[in-house]
Structure 1
Amino acid sequence: MVEKFIEEYAKLIASEPENVSVSRVNLGENFDEIIVRTSKNDTGRLIGKDGKMINALKTLITGYKAKEPTSYRITVKALDE
């Protein structure tokens, strides 16, 4: 459910929403990494100036911990072209 929200959020921000993909990797007990892959042009848009955009997204995801005890790490990566 979290990865679906992040995917929709990233598609709204990206200039090339068709290139956005999100995957979830379990790194241990109650700890997952969510990897957002997008075009090189959109990585800066998703991170934002001084990291403000990605930090806002991390804050929203932290609030989701009230429903489920899993912690998340969000990583934005550029697609290899």
Structure 2
Amino acid sequence: MITNFIESYAKLIVSKPEEVSISTHKVDETFTEITIKANSADIGKLIGKNGNMINALKTMANGCKAKDGVSYKIQVLAN
């Protein structure tokens, strides 16, 4: 659920949405890492000024924690 939202949100922000990919790694039953891979020119757009865009994504992920009990860590990497 949260991965689909993050992927669609990230594709709206970047200038090359076809290069955006999302992967998840479940560390244990209460912690999951989400990795957003995008073009290196779009990394700044995903992070945003003062980290505002990535913090908005992290806030949304923390809201999902209340529903399903899983903590999420979001990373942004260049292709």
State the TM-score, normalized to the length of structure 2. Answer: 0.96
Aligned: 1:19 with 2:19? yes
Letter in 1 for 2:61: I
Partner of 2:2: 2
Letter in 2 for 1:43: I
The structure where helix makes up a greater share of residues is 2
How many residues align? The count is: 79
Q: Deviations over 1:19-45 (max 9, x none)?
A: 000011011231000000000011110
How far off is 1:60 after superposition? 1.1
Partner of 2:50: 50
Query: Over the residues paired in the alignment, what is the CA RMSD in angstroms?
Result: 0.7
How far off is 1:65 after superposition? 1.3
Structure 1, gaps ≥5 residues long: none
Partner of 1:60: 60
State the TM-score, normalized to the length of structure 1. Answer: 0.93
